[in-house]
Amino acid sequence: MKVSIQAVALWGKTAPSHSITAIMITDDQRTIVTGSQEGQICLWDLSSELKVSSKEILFGHSASVTCLAKARD
């Protein structure tokens, strides 16, 4: 059974910036991955109706994410 978890981000009066510098879509075309100038990687759900919703945001890079790649099986 697949469990769906909605991502929740908390911040002050303004959302953190996410200037996209790299983008990738998974083979199943259900997830978009973006890298940002601020060093974040974001995962987005893509519905069959082409609606995009936030899934996860990953912090920790100290430099811009300028390239994304996927591993092979």
The whole-number pLDDT of residue 58 equals: 86
CA–centroid distance for 58 within its chain:
8
The whole-number pLDDT of residue 56 equals: 86
Q: Contact 61/41 with Cβ under 8 angstroms? A: yes
Please list the ranges in the chain whose pLDDT falls under 70: 1-18
- Per-domain residue ranges for the chain? 20-59
The whole-number pLDDT of residue 15 equals: 60
The two tokens of residue 28 are: 């199943």
The whole-number pLDDT of residue 49 equals: 85
